[in-house]
Amino acid sequence: MGSSTASLFLLLGCFIPVFCITREYFIGIREIQWDYAPTGKNVILNKLLKEDEHAATFLERGPQRIGSVYKKAVYLQYTDATYTKEITKPKWLGFLGPVMSAEEGDVIKVHLKNMATRAYSIHSHGIMYNKTSEGALYPDETTDAEKHDDRVDPGKSYTYVWVLSDTHAPTKDDTNCLARAYHSHLHAPQDIASGLVGPLIICKKGTLDVYGDKAADYSYVLMFTVSDENMSWYLDDNIKTYCTQQSTAANIDKDDEAFQESNLMHSINGFVYGNLPDLSMCVGNKIHWHLIGMGNEVDIHSVFFHGQILTNLGHHTDAVSLFPATFTNVEMTADNPGHWLLSCQVNDHLMAGMQALFEVKKCFPAVHKPRPNGEVREYFIAAEEVLWDYAPSQVNHGTGKPLNTDGDSETFFQRGNDRIGGKYKKVQYKEYTDNTFTVQKERTPEELHLGILGPVIRAEEEDTIKVVFKNKASRPFSMQPHGVQYNVEQSGTLYYNELEALVKPGTTHTYEWVVPKGGGPVADDADCITYFYYSAVDPVKDTSSGLVGPLLVCKKKTLKKGKQKNVNKEFHMLATVFDENLSWFLDDNINQFTKAPKTVNKEDEDFQESNKMHSINGYMYGNLPGLTMCKGDKVSWHLSGLGSEADIHGLYFEGNRLIYRETRRDVMNVFPHISHTVMMEPDSMGQFEVVCQTTDHYQGGMRANYTVQKCSMFNRQSEIMLHSKTYYIAAMEIDWDYSPNRTWEQEMYHGLTQSPGNDFIDKQGKFIGSIYKKVVYREFTNNKFTKQKERSADMQHLGILGPMIHADIGDKVNIVFKNMATRTYSIHAHGVKTDVPQVKETKPGKINSTHNALHLTSSCFIEIGFVIDLYSGLIGPLVICRRSYARSFGLKKEVEEFALLFMVFDENESWYLDDNIKTNIKTPTRNIKEDEDFIESNKMHGINGQLYGNLLGLNMEVGDKVYWYLMGMGNEIDIHTAHFHGHSFDYKLSGGSHRADVFGLFPGTFQTVKMKPKYPGSWLLHCHVADHIKAGMVTVYKVTEKGKECVGLVHCPMSNVNALKYILNKENIKSFLVSFLVSFLVSFLVSFLVSFLVSFLVSFLVSFLVSFLVSFLVSFLVSFLVSFLVSFLVSFLVSFLVSFLVSFLVSFLVSFLVSSTMA
């Protein structure tokens, strides 16, 4: 693809000059010295850096510490091609490049000059480019002439041409303008860590002016990232320049964990601890915040705007999630004057300084703001110290065994010389009847499930919440709410000298919070949206100690006597790893519960692990009480997350489905300080589990049981299934190669010597290599399991996944499962109703059958079908669609579908680890399974189990309708942000269609996205998490011109022949004949009845006319009878023959098309 194609793209993007603009940017790359804390202070707490223990860890210089200043490379904007006069950017942008912007149809020309000391490039998200302007170096089958954009050497220049096409611009359901990013992509992880990243704002036609979105008074761009200076190209320079003793600098161990930690800068636009300047606005201003995430596995961010109500994708909130290369756009009206905190609420990031302040100023004469006219709802709440038991029954309800002797649970519940066990001193919010705090409110049976949580606070829109808080604990605490507004003096967070946040022991403070008009649930929300309140004197230690409780903001007239009136049951669930090492009471717990307190080493990793309690509402291993409901009840589940980088939760509800913003699902992801309301109307009875699908959390006890009972004899009848499909699936043991070909990898890294893939797929010494024994699901032709079904070309991409099971809503899917492996396995589906809720185990050599009823979720969606024994390989996609007769009859053409699982297959957790060691390592050491390098080498960062471009078969043609079924599973490191080069895609949420080119995936995430490829080429598809890129979670998808390549059956000229072969196969002839006979009988009856009626009427009319004409000669009655009989017999015979022939042809054609589609 050369310059002629580039010109064509330009013409397509801007074919009538009056309707589009060419926007030119002169961008230079320069190396600078960047200070993450230029004030020398922790501005949030008004302390010098050296006075703050946490800040000093990252920002104090020393003999083996760099400090706050680092050499970086940045994008700067200039006035023209001389690159002599820099255009000053706003101070709040920090080290980010200049804001580039475009409306739909605009052309952006970027004239890039590299004034740094090493080669870089510029690559953009969310915009159209061809292969000469992609700016990303990877094996993409382009010529050398088309690779000049991929590498701009020092002193060189290059001009990139981008077009904001209609397939990249915001959809009608998006906000006016969307944030995207541009960055260097020569070696993306290192280039970004070195500083080369900036914002791109893409807008709808007619919405942009010189200041940004016309609808906003101010627009700000904020990038949240843990800038990893260990990954920067300039690490050696920074050590040499800033470590205070040059003699020791040369000997610094760059692999030392403490040194590496000191170089992780938890920054917003390159500033830490409140040093981000100039975020200011006036009361009444409309503010648009464009939020960007970037970075690595630790970059899970929960951005909290204190005291504000935001609008995100049409819904109200005050906290939003960000992940590497994800972009969020929120709108806000600045209502409350004062200095407000803006922070990432992930525990580790909060302590490390990912905080800023923004000021809302009174710029104009005060405008009277009427008080809300709702109710005043009063609560009396105290903080009290309690002895908390994470498992009162002392039993693992998953296994029935005692917790202190049962495998996984023993780690957390075994008391010993240096182990605390399952009971801890904590602090809890408790409710009282009045402000005397003498009579505590007893919890009702419906409230037993709340566990460690405080009382539920509920309010409707325009209500005022008045909380009288008494601190009956032994240290200062507070109450900080989400989801409401309050004066800055009423904040429960200690910052910027606001000492009112601190409520001392024995004292009382009254908080007043307001639910503003227009700040509650919207039309497609549930009646009440979920938030929570917590203590924030020290947000990390206070919440780790137990101070957190639910808060519901509800639509008007949905509460009765303080409770929801449109639901039968209301349940709250807080998923968190309570880290007791961070509790205020750790020393008390050591002294009270360990058998030899003086021997305890609080820095010991095993001791710390034993204190990380993977809980739901403070209960573990099925000990959470009170989750009982009736079949057919309307149940609201209020789900929240809390904690640190490890708190990535995919809550899976076994047995019944949830409704979230007009979509059905059975898994909900929650993150720290992020909450969701989901509705359930259970239709399956029995006892079911709610579990976190993050594997460490599941094993660590984040599991609860809920019970659905039959409470009425008038419960709904079961669904009637009109269609049935049968699949024959076996579990088979195979040798799986994660990287069968290293050619792509070799080209990517210019040889294998420096390839990061060596750490994972080299088979030498103590490493296994790329081939592992695994167990996989594979499809067979019938229940004899003698002939495995060959995968067609369009299913080649499935890789390690099991067969793609297709079904329409209302179908009954029968799965005949044979275990051909050497261990007991099973098969189980998400998102469907089964005959028996419990999963059946199948022993080696045995066969089991399961029957799944499929229910509507969205247009077409994906479910991970089979999560048991995940790491050993047993997983596959189940695709459920609305019933489409056009699709059933084969009339929907040129549709491609691809199922992609982004997951780190941890072979250390596989059943076959010992087999793989024995087979591949000649002389393994005794403790090889504890060797850190060995453990890391067995973590295979794959897309469908393939690394470094080895996933094949992602082929499509220009104009195809492409469905991507994206899936995430795994562990705490399984944060995946799937990025498609070259094209954007659409996804649905709340009934609206939204556009992106990156989608975040987490354990239990399944999402369908739709793409219509327009631009030919071999395009990169990868996880944007920095470590995952290096570890091989990359491949390419290929777009060809229409007709140039046969891709999949529907495009092939021999597809009818293939279909005929499929029909004549003895396994399929029966279904063809049944289809033919049903079609024939229906069409014959319909056509014959129609013909008969027509014949009767025609005969009657003809006979009447003939009889009338001859009635002068013969009697009218005789003439009529004779002519009627003759004409009717003739018409009847013709009708019968025509009906038979037409029915035969139609039936054969329909049956053939159905079989063709199946083929």
Say what the pLDDT of residue 1042 is.
Answer: 84
Q: Which of 233-237, 485-489, 801-805, 1090-1094 has the lowest mean pLDDT?
A: 1090-1094
- Helix/strand/coil for 1083: helix
pLDDT averaged over the chain?
Answer: 87
Instruction: Report residue 986 as tokens.
Output: 């659409």
Say what the pLDDT of residue 438 is.
Answer: 97
Instruction: Report which DSSP code applies to 157.
Output: E
pLDDT tier at 833, thresholds 50, 70, 90: low
- For residue 533, how many other CB atoms are within 10 A of its CB? 27
pLDDT tier at 1080, thresholds 50, 70, 90: low
* Burial of 754 from C-beta contacts in 10 A (0-12 / 13-18 / 19+): exposed
- Residues 966-977, mean pLDDT to the nearest whole number: 94
Residue 1058 has pLDDT above 80, yes or no: no
Residue 1049 has pLDDT above 80, yes or no: no
938/915 Cα distance (integer angstroms): 13
Q: Pairing state of beta strands 286-293 and 218-228? A: parallel
Say what the pLDDT of residue 765 is.
Answer: 85
Say what the pLDDT of residue 861 is.
Answer: 43
Residue 827 has pLDDT above 90, yes or no: no
The string over 220-240, giving b where at least 16 C-beta atoms fall within 10 Å of a residue's C-beta and e elsewhere, is bbbbbbbbbbbbbbbbeebbe
- Higher-pLDDT residue of 601, 870: 601
- Higher-pLDDT residue of 764, 36: 36
1146/1070 Cα distance (integer angstroms): 18
- For residue 529, how many other CB atoms are within 10 A of its CB? 22
Establish how many alpha carbons lie within 13 A of residue 14's alpha carbon, considering only the half-sphere containing its beta carbon. 20
- Residues 416-433, mean pLDDT to the nearest whole number: 97
Q: For the chain, what is the largest distance between any 2 Cα atoms, rounded to a whole number of angstroms?
A: 134
Name the percent of the chain lying above pLDDT 90. Answer: 71
pLDDT tier at 1137, thresholds 50, 70, 90: confident
**Domains by residue range for the chain, with CATH:** 3-247+255-361 (2.60.40.420), 376-709 (2.60.40.420), 723-1052 (2.60.40.420), 1063-1158 (no CATH)
Nearest to 657 by CA among 1006, 1008, 321: 1006
- Higher-pLDDT residue of 168, 1075: 168
Name the percent of the chain lying above pLDDT 70. Answer: 84
3-class SS string, 907-960: HHHCCCHHHHHHHHCCCCCCCHHHCHHHHHHCEEEEECCECCCCCCCCEEECCC
- Residues 251-274, mean pLDDT to the nearest whole number: 95
- Higher-pLDDT residue of 532, 372: 532
pLDDT tier at 713, thresholds 50, 70, 90: confident
CA of 53: how far to CAs of 44, 63, 608, 1037, in Å? 14, 18, 20, 49
- Higher-pLDDT residue of 511, 1097: 511
- Residues 1018-1025, mean pLDDT to the nearest whole number: 97
- Residues 111-122, mean pLDDT to the nearest whole number: 98
Instruction: Report residue 583 as tokens.
Output: 């509790």
Active site residue 692: yes
- Residues 76-80, mean pLDDT to the nearest whole number: 98
Say what the pLDDT of residue 1110 is.
Answer: 60
Say what the pLDDT of residue 721 is.
Answer: 53
Tell me which residue has tokens 């699908």.
Answer: 693
Residue 121 has pLDDT above 90, yes or no: yes
pLDDT of 903-943, one tens digit each? 999 999 999 999 999 999 988 898 999 999 999 999 999 99
Name every residue whose Cβ is closer than 8 Å to that of residue 280 and which is 6 or more positions away in sequence: 358, 359, 360, 361
Say what the pLDDT of residue 952 is.
Answer: 96
pLDDT of 1082-1118, one tens digit each? 666 776 677 667 666 766 676 666 666 665 555 666 6
Residue 365 has pLDDT above 90, yes or no: no
246/240 Cα distance (integer angstroms): 7
pLDDT of 858-903, one tens digit each? 334 444 443 447 889 999 888 877 665 544 544 444 579 999 999 9
Residue of 20, 203, 692, 881 marked catalytic: 692
- Higher-pLDDT residue of 253, 1075: 253
pLDDT tier at 678, thresholds 50, 70, 90: very high
Residue 470's DSSP bridge partners are 382, 508
pLDDT tier at 1054, thresholds 50, 70, 90: very low
Say what the pLDDT of residue 808 is.
Answer: 76
Residue 1158 has pLDDT above 70, yes or no: no
Q: Which of 143-152, 330-339, 664-673, 749-758 has the lowest mean pLDDT?
A: 749-758
Say what the pLDDT of residue 1063 is.
Answer: 46
- Residues 334-343, mean pLDDT to the nearest whole number: 93
Say what the pLDDT of residue 9 is.
Answer: 43
pLDDT tier at 7, thresholds 50, 70, 90: very low
